């Protein structure tokens, strides 16, 4: 938690403005109970934020960057938007990505642009795509984090370490917090950790099973066999494959079956083996457990708003991660989430990066050849003031940081939408405004072209 700072002193307090219910985007908890202390248009304190969140809120965000650049030279906003629209309109296969750092209002415009242009829009990564595929094939029994807080008396952390990556998860959603039907908080919950490492979360566990790395599918298969009541489970084989004796899997299964409400947290990114198959196994096991008791599965979620991007893409097109509009209607891409591969297959001839910002940086995850390819084609990049560009974009816009100096809507990993509030005055426009201007400019030029053609 943040220590009292200068803003607690009387003279400072007079100059300090309070902004309540700010939402932190630095990890998947998306804590929306943060009170910001603002002095001279700077955040000087973030009450209730953990150290990771505090670093995010208090990060240096320069206010003196040139808002629009064309080929590295200062440009005015309208000129830059018109050029961006012209680049995209001329391209035969534009790629739009980098949605994790933007709000849902911007995602809607990104989808409209891809539709208008016959381009490709990609949200998420390979792990998100694997989750979506598994969800569609076997179903996903899940719940909100609020439901888990109030009802779960048994929590399983499978290959995840929220004590390190999501520091307020225990206090806000799960382990230590009291719930309506869990009045004793930690004392009323059983905590199980299954992991190949002895993590800080494992130190909190009532039962820890140390798994052989990459043996998630075998371990879940053992649990599925126990859930199905199979009497011929091969104890030797299970111990060999998972590194854990069958008796311990049985102990875990008995605890799960005895729970009133169980919740299993996993992370598609960190799972070993073939991701889709592993996630399908986990989701199938949770479905099977519901024949005995109430059981749900959840992910911990990542920073930024990737969950929102997947929501918007799914409700606008039917597909959550990677869509091609080239045929005049949305089609799911063959290699979902693979932005580098998409850039390198030679078809993409222009790109729009919706939001480059530090916590979800879409450019950092690209392979070196993909980054070189991006620098070689006309590219429009919207980036926050604290995100340096690794190459000179054709058109670059500096935009406000969402949740700090731009508002909008984001989604938590459990599908709960949260509003973002603008805490600071920013010299930079919001990404949504830039995208809206580009879309309007493109629609106007398409309209003019249609009229010209009609007159010929």
Binding residues for ligand SF4, per CB under 6 A? 24, 26-27, 29-31, 49-50, 52-53, 166-168
Q: Which is nearer to ligand SF4, 47 or 333 (CB)?
A: 47
Q: What is the spatial distance between Cα 314 and Cα 319, in angstroms, rounded to a whole number?
A: 5
Residue appearing with tokens 């490492």: 197
Q: Which is nearer to ligand SF4, 119 or 403 (CB)?
A: 403
Q: What is the DSSP string of 253-294?
A: HHHHHH-SEEEEEE-TTT--SSHHHHHHHHHHHHHHHTTTSE
**Least distance CB 145 / ligand SF4 (angstroms):** 12
**Least distance CB 335 / ligand SF4 (angstroms):** 31
Q: Which helix (H) or strand (E) is 316 found in, with range?
A: helix 306-317
Q: What is the spatial distance between Cα 96 and Cα 350, in angstroms, rounded to a whole number?
A: 9
Q: Which is nearer to ligand SF4, 24 or 193 (CB)?
A: 24
Smallest CA-to-CA distance from 128 within 287, 339, 320 is with 320
Residue appearing with tokens 């984001």: 410
Smallest CA-to-CA distance from 197 within 157, 153, 239 is with 157
3-state secondary structure (DSSP) of residue 183? coil
End-to-end CA distance of the chain: 69
**Least distance CB 205 / ligand SF4 (angstroms):** 20
**Least distance CB 408 / ligand SF4 (angstroms):** 17
The CA angle 234-237-243, to the nearest 5 degrees, is 125
Q: Which is nearer to ligand SF4, 162 or 336 (CB)?
A: 162
Q: Where are the alpha helices (DSSP H) in 97-230?
A: 104-117, 126-138, 145-151, 162-165, 169-172, 216-227
**Residue with the CB atom nearest ligand SF4 in the bound state:** 53
Q: Which two tokens stand for residue 355?
A: 């939001």
**Least distance CB 27 / ligand SF4 (angstroms):** 3
Q: Which is nearer to ligand SF4, 151 or 166 (CB)?
A: 166
Q: Which two tokens stand for residue 2?
A: 């943040």
Q: Which is nearer to ligand SF4, 61 or 166 (CB)?
A: 166
**Least distance CB 177 / ligand SF4 (angstroms):** 13
Q: Which is nearer to ligand SF4, 110 or 298 (CB)?
A: 298
The CA angle 202-206-207, to the nearest 5 degrees, is 75
**Least distance CB 26 / ligand SF4 (angstroms):** 4
**Least distance CB 17 / ligand SF4 (angstroms):** 20
Q: Which is nearer to ligand SF4, 27 or 68 (CB)?
A: 27
């Amino acid at each position: 938690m943040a220590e009292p700072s200068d803003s607690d002193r009387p003279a400072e307090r007079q100059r300090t403005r309070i902004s309540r219910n700010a939402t932190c985007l630095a990890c998947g908890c998306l804590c929306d109970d943060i009170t910001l202390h603002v002095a001279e248009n700077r955040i000087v304190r973030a009450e209730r934020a953990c150290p990771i969140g505090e670093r995010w809120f208090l990060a240096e965000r320069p206010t003196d960057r040139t808002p629009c650049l064309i080929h590295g030279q200062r440009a005015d906003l309208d000129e830059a938007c018109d050029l961006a629209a012209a680049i995209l309109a001329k391209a035969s296969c534009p790629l739009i990505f980098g949605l994790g750092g933007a709000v849902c209002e911007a995602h809607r415009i990104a989808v409209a642009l891809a539709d208008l242009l016959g381009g490709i829009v990609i949200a998420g990564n390979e792990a998100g795509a694997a989750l979506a595929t598994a969800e569609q094939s076997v179903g996903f029994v899940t719940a909100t984090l609020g439901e888990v807080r109030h009802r779960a008396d048994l929590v399983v952390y499978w290959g995840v370490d929220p004590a390190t990556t999501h520091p307020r998860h225990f206090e806000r959603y799960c382990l230590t917090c009291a719930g309506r039907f869990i009045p004793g908080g930690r004392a009323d919950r059983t905590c199980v950790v299954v992991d190949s490492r002895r993590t800080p979360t494992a130190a909190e566990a009532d039962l820890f099973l140390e798994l052989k790395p990459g043996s998630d599918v075998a371990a879940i298969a053992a649990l599925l066999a126990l859930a199905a009541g199979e009497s011929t489970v091969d104890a030797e084989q299970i111990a060999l494959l998972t590194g854990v004796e069958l008796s311990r899997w049985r102990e875990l299964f008995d605890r799960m079956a005895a729970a009133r409400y169980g919740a299993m947290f996993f992370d598609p990114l960190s799972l070993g083996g073939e991701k889709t198959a592993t996630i399908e196994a986990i989701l199938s096991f949770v479905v099977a457990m519901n024949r005995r008791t109430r059981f749900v599965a959840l992910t911990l979620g990542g920073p930024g708003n990737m969950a929102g991007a997947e929501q918007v893409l799914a409700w606008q097109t039917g597909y959550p991660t990677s869509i091609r509009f080239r045929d005049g209607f949305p089609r799911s891409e063959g290699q979902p989430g693979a932005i580098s591969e998409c850039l390198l297959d030679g078809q993409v001839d222009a790109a729009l990066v919706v939001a480059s910002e530090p916590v979800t940086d879409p450019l950092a995850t690209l392979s070196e050849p993909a980054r070189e390819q991006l620098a070689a084609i006309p590219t429009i990049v919207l980036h926050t003031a604290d995100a340096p560009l690794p190459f000179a974009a054709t058109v670059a816009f500096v935009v406000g940081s969402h949740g700090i100096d731009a508002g909008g809507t984001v989604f938590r990993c459990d599908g709960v939408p949260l509003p973002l509030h603008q805490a600071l005055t920013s010299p930079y426009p919001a990404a949504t405004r830039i995208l809206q201007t580009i879309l309007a400019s493109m629609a106007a030029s398409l309209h003019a072209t249609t009229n010209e053609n009609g007159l010929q």
